[in-house]
Structures are given as C-alpha cells and as structure tokens.
Amino acid sequence: MGRLDNKVAIITGGASGIGERMVDLFSQEGAIVIAADINEAAFEHVSQKENVYGMKLNVALDEDWEVLAKEVSDRFGKIDILVNNAGISSEKPYQDIDLDDWQKMLSINGYGPFAGIKYVAPYMAAQKEGSIINISSYTAQIGQGFNHYSASKGAVRALSKAAATTFGRQGVRVNTLFPGIIETPMTQSLSTSKELLGSLIQATPLQRLGKPEDIANAALFLASDESSYITGSELVIDGGFSAQ
Ligand SMILES: NC(=O)c1ccc[n+]([C@@H]2O[C@H](COP(=O)([O-])OP(=O)(O)OC[C@H]3O[C@@H](n4cnc5c(N)ncnc54)[C@H](O)[C@@H]3O)[C@@H](O)[C@H]2O)c1
C-alpha cells in the first residue's frame, strides 16, 4: 500500500530538481501526479512516467491556474494535494535590482503560490479535505545576500500562515518547507567553484548540501494523512545551517 493511494496531486515546477523528485516519489506512493511547469520541453520526459501527467502552467497567470484546476478536477474527480514548488532565483546585487526585477521575482515566487491556493483551495474545500505545501527557502529566515529572492520567499512564509487560517475550517491544511542549499539545476553554478562548495559544506552542521529527496520526503509526510492535524507549520530542511 502506498502512502498516497487514491490521491490526486498537482506539483508546480515538476519538471526539474526538487519538483521532479517529488513527482517521482508521490507517484511511487500511489498518487496520480500532475507535473505542472512552464517548461513544456522539460516536462515531456516527466510525462512518460506511470501515473504522471505533464501540464503547461505559468504560475504567475490567473487564467493558467483557472484552466489547470478545472481540468484536473474534471479529469480525475478531485484535487487532494498542491505543492507550490515552482520558482526562480537570482543573486543580483541589491543596488542593481530594479522594479522590473522585483515584479518578475514577486509575481512568480509570490503571486504564483497565492494564485495556486486561490484557484485550487475551493476544490479542496468542497471535498472538505486537502493539503497544500508551499516551498519557501531558508533565505526567508536569515540574511544571505539574496535580496529580492529572499523577499519573495518571505512572502510565501506569511502567505502560508494566512492561508492556513483562512482555509483550515474547510479542511484544507497549508504548511511550509524551508530548504537550505539543495543540489539542483538552480544551484548548478555552485558546483563550478570547488572553493565555494567546500566552504558551504564546512559551514553546514550536517556537513553536506541537501538533495532533492530531503525535501521530497518531508513533502510526502505533509501531503499524506499522517500529518492530518498539522497546518500552519514550518519545517526547515537545511542541515542545521540557519540554526547557527
Ligand atoms: N535548490 C535550492 O537550493 C533551493 C533552496 C531553497 C528553496 N528552493 C526552492 O525550491 C523550489 C524548486 O527549486 P529547484 O532547485 O528544484 O529549481 P529548478 O530550477 O531545478 O526547478 C524550478 C522549476 O520551476 C519551473 N518554473 C519556473 N518558473 C515557472 C513559472 N512561471 N511557472 C511554472 N513553472 C515555472 C522551472 O521550469 C523548473 O522546472 C523553488 O521554489 C526554489 O526557490 C530551492
């Protein structure tokens, strides 16, 4: 028996990195998984997997969310799980960030999860059950020079609490994960500098960087009925980096 048998899950950014690992794990655990991503070429390979359906989604667009939520509900009869995982990052220096940079970052990383909840939570509320998992970042909790990226992830943190209280009485749970540095295409540039990589590992109490499965395993718990009394919670997964 799988831990997500008979559940229908939407995972945004499901074509790469952390999202792709969640897609694999959730489908192995018995869920029907919709890997929703802006990168159609990338999600085609994800769609080859059993019980996985790739769908086009730009998380920053209301119309995309409206169509996706209706299509998933019509086709599979319900929506049990939403993981707001899609995101972009930037290491642009503070002084170089302008309003366009800010708006792009906040519209994908901030409005994306907001819109996901806005369009999907009503389907969950109608069935009186649902689990939403938002992917923030350890940079929402400590200063690390990521500037507008950190601000966007801080928005996700606050939004999760607001949504947990807004939808809790309708049976919808909302929880947040705070990954540290995880080895994915997003952090590929780190591996080009052995020195930087070494210093980051050195600075981490558990003495390694994170892997996509470290985040996927926690998301699996929050998606499953094992966490049925948990909402509005925050889980940091960073090898102890931000505990220092
Ligand atoms: N990798 C890390 O170290 C790290 C640390 C903390 C938080 N995170 C967060 O985890 C999440 C996943 O990151 P990752 O490392 O797997 O990155 P990744 O770049 O490997 O994957 C991100 C995915 O999001 C998709 N995406 C980007 N913009 C989109 C949009 N507008 N609409 C739909 N899909 C879009 C991309 O196509 C890609 O498939 C992100 O929210 C990221 O901010 C990552």
Please tell me the predicted confidence (pLDDT) of residue 194: 84
Please tell me the predicted confidence (pLDDT) of residue 74: 98
Ligand 1 contact, 15 CB (< 6 A): yes
Please tell me the predicted confidence (pLDDT) of residue 102: 98
Helix axis angle for 17-28 and 212-223, nearest 10°, is 50
SS3 of residue 133 by DSSP: strand
- Kindly report the backbone phi and psi dihedral angles of residue 233, in degrees, each rounded to the nearest multiple of 5, phi listed first: -95, 165
Ligand 1 contact, 176 CB (< 6 A): no
Which are the catalytic amino acids?
Answer: 149
Do the Cβ atoms of 36 and 115 come closer than 8 Å?
Answer: no
Please tell me the predicted confidence (pLDDT) of residue 190: 78
Ligand 1 contact, 16 CB (< 6 A): yes
Do the Cβ atoms of 153 and 181 come closer than 8 Å?
Answer: no
DSSP classification of residue 220:
H
Please tell me the predicted confidence (pLDDT) of residue 189: 82
Rounded Cα–Cα distance for residues 26 and 19 (Å) = 10
Please tell me the predicted confidence (pLDDT) of residue 127: 97
- Of all helices (H) and strands (E), which one includes residue 37? strand 32-37
Q: What are the sequence ranges of the domains in the chain?
A: 8-243
Among the four given CATH numbers 3.30.420.480, 1.10.300.10, 3.30.70.360, 3.40.50.720, the one describing domain 8-243: 3.40.50.720
Tell me how far the alpha carbon of residue 200 is from its chain's centroid.
23
For residue 88, the CA-to-ligand 1 centroid distance in Å is: 5
Our mutation pick for probing the ligand 1 site, out of 18, 144, 237, counting the most ligand atoms within 8 A of Cβ, is: 18
154-200 pLDDT per residue, tens: 999 999 999 999 999 999 999 999 999 999 999 988 777 888 889 99
Which segments in the chain show pLDDT lower than 70?
Answer: none
- Look up residue 73 and give its two tokens: 């509900």
Rounded Cα–Cα distance for residues 165 and 145 (Å) = 31
